[in-house]
Structure 1
Amino acid sequence: MTTATDTAPRYRTIWISDVHLGTPGCQAEYLVDFLKHNHCDTLYLVGDIIDGWKLSGGWYWPQEHTNVVRKVLTKAKRDTKVYYVTGNHDEFLRRFVGFGLAMGNIQVVNEHVHITADGRRLLVTHGDAFDVITRYHKWLALVGDAAYNGMMKANHYFNRARRWLNMPYWSLSAYAKQKVKNAVNIISEFEEAVARECRRRGLDGVVCGHIHHAEIRDIDGVTYLNCGDWVESCTALAEDRNGNIEILRWIDIARLDQRDKVTALSARTGS
């Protein structure tokens, strides 16, 4: 009988960001499921994996969050190269980067240049350095983070009701970002700033996170790739053996029963 392990895709590279372990909004069970059913040679954790901001105000760490850490450690033990790229919520790790912090097959960095199978050079960075509010007005970022966490709590109960009614997941905060003009402008300015930095360094593109909005697009010749997050959208980026990169949206596949999940994975791998 064909199992999920037999059909699990093996990508050249996978990027995930904004997991926010240590917060109630983290969709840890979906991430564990994703890591179980998708393999790669190189795994990038593109910042805000552990939410130090939230944990500094009170401890929250259920078993599901430990399971994510265990799954990453298992992958590293089985020869997956793991880069932990620091973000603003896990900035406590940045003080150790200068010491070349590495744990077996896991290396902690502030950024990294990834070379794709087709030879493109991509800057991998969380992206908070290009966010004016986070960089220069941290107090405002903390207020916004508290408001965001409140919205995510409301979103949690709202979607529990939708699931009970057999309705698909719907993100309140994503809807707000799309409808509020200022939020849309901030996202646009962030993307343009990241693209300018790549152009300045002579790089072909960037892989980032931070704004919780998965996207792949061209910005004046620079390839902009955003991983999204594992609080709302449950998305990742994946590179195949030819250098093609796509967004993987896991939340719908995760809710399939085992037989349908095997079928979906088989369709993705062409088996």
Structure 2
Amino acid sequence: MHTQMFPRHVHALFISDVHLGTRGCQAEMLLEFLRWHDAETIYLVGDIVDGWRLKRSWYWPQAHNDVAQKLMRKGRKGARIVYVPGNHDEFLRNYLGTHFGGIEVVNSIIHETADHRRMLVLHGDQFDVVVRHARWLAFLGDWAYETALGVNTYVNLIRRKLGFSYWSLSAWAKLKVKDAVNFIGAFEDALSREAERVEADGVICGHIHHAALREQNGIRYMNCGDWVESCTALVENHDGRFEIIRWAEVAAAYADAGTAPAAKVAA
């Protein structure tokens, strides 16, 4: 993966859980990723803007505005942009079926791959029991998550000073807690069953901030991950092959080599 040449043009690009409007959003890293990736279709798979957080306190630095402008610029240059709202940007569900700035807003959509498979694309919060039936608990969990991200920011400031790459405290903790692991498994199983119900070959989602690409009950389950903890995206190449791009690892590899994607292309 680290030897991939840049810039890249892919058949489809899937990004979720950016959480623009929060301090944990890795907007600069996403901007760098978008500079080196173009696609025929870009799917924004929910929680791109964090309406929950913005309602409580306004936070919108220039880098967050730059991400929005970069995506709209890609649309003006010919990319199809499809926005599938999640629970944090659920206000956009009031505008399903409309376009704004050249961006289509849909609740879910079937993506046809380059090799003619059908993939169900949706955020996934519809299959999260806490979000659906105990919103107060979801808001409490969001507060705890925000606190963990705040700690994570200081941890990574120290790591950078020591010459270490980006690391996610919350992602590490999530995979160490048995209940969280069980929740992830149940979520993946529910989404796979939904894809099977609508006669799709696979499902592409976000929501749980855990990038994955695997077979689940005979269905291809794919999760984009996020741009808060792991800085991941899902891409479909022009031959229909999917892969997860872990951009923090790619950037760290170039930094260790004393080069950058731009320099790689020039070479």
**Interval of TM-score (by shorter of Structure 1 and Structure 2):** over 0.9
CA distance in 2, matches of 1:106, 1:151: 33
Aligned residue for 1:56, secondary structure, equals helix
- Taking structure 1 as reference, are residues 58 and 167 closer, same or farther at Cα in structure 2, changes over 3 Å only? same
CA distance in 1, matches of 2:110, 2:265: 30
Within a 5 Å distance, the mapping from 1:86-105 to structure 2 comes to 86-97=85-96, 100-105=97-102
CA distance in 2, matches of 1:86, 1:235: 18
Aligned residue for 1:248, secondary structure, equals strand
Q: Which residue, out of 177, 184, 192, partners 2:181?
A: 184
Contact 1:17 1:228 in 2 (8 A): yes
Q: What is aligned with 1:35?
A: 34
Q: Deviations over 1:97-151 (max 9, x none)?
A: 1xx2102531011111000011110000000001111111111000000000000
Is the aligned partner of 1:113 residue 2:110?
Answer: yes
CA distance in 1, matches of 2:105, 2:162: 43
Aligned residue for 2:56, secondary structure, equals coil
Which ranges of structure 1 fall in alignment gaps of 5 or more residues?
1-5
Q: What is aligned with 1:225?
A: 222
- The root-mean-square deviation of aligned C-alpha atoms, in Å, is 1.6
Q: Deviations over 1:11-53 (max 9, x none)?
A: 0100000000000000000111111111111000000000000
CA distance in 2, matches of 1:125, 1:260: 33
Contact 2:119 2:200 in 1 (8 A): yes
Is the aligned partner of 1:9 residue 2:8?
Answer: yes
Within a 5 Å distance, the mapping from 1:246-261 to structure 2 comes to 246-255=243-252, 256=254, 259-261=259-261
Which ranges of structure 2 fall in alignment gaps of 5 or more residues?
none
Q: What is aligned with 1:213?
A: 210
Tell me the amino acid that sits aligned with residue 159 of structure 2.
R
CA distance in 1, matches of 2:227, 2:32: 12
Q: What is the CA-CA distance between 1:220 and the residue it aligns to?
A: 1.5
CA distance in 1, matches of 2:22, 2:69: 18
User: TM-score scaled to structure 1, two decimals?
Assistant: 0.92
Segments ≥4 residues shifted beyond 6 Å: none
- Taking structure 1 as reference, are residues 77 and 137 closer, same or farther at Cα in structure 2, changes over 3 Å only? same
CA distance in 1, matches of 2:108, 2:138: 22
CA distance in 2, matches of 1:9, 1:110: 28
Q: What is aligned with 2:81?
A: 82
CA distance in 2, matches of 1:9, 1:185: 36
Contact 1:9 1:265 in 2 (8 A): no
Q: Deviations over 1:183-234 (max 9, x none)?
A: 1111111000001111111111000000000000001110000000000111
Contact 1:12 1:42 in 2 (8 A): yes
User: TM-score scaled to structure 2, two decimals?
Assistant: 0.94
Q: What is aligned with 1:137?
A: 134
Tell me the amino acid that sits aligned with residue 96 of structure 1.
Y
Contact 1:34 1:254 in 2 (8 A): no
* Identity rate, percent: 51
- Taking structure 1 as reference, are residues 222 and 124 closer, same or farther at Cα in structure 2, changes over 3 Å only? same
CA distance in 2, matches of 1:177, 1:131: 16
Q: What is the CA-CA distance between 1:265 and the residue it aligns to?
A: 6.3
Tell me the amino acid that sits aligned with residue 192 of structure 2.
A
Tell me the amino acid that sits aligned with residue 66 of structure 1.
N
Contact 2:251 2:260 in 1 (8 A): no
CA distance in 1, matches of 2:261, 2:94: 41
CA distance in 2, matches of 1:265, 1:186: 42
Contact 1:79 1:105 in 2 (8 A): no
Tell me the amino acid that sits aligned with residue 115 of structure 1.
E
Tell me the amino acid that sits aligned with residue 47 of structure 2.
D
Contact 1:33 1:254 in 2 (8 A): no
Q: What is the CA-CA distance between 1:79 and the residue it aligns to?
A: 0.3
Is the aligned partner of 1:262 residue 2:262?
Answer: yes
Aligned residue for 1:48, secondary structure, equals coil
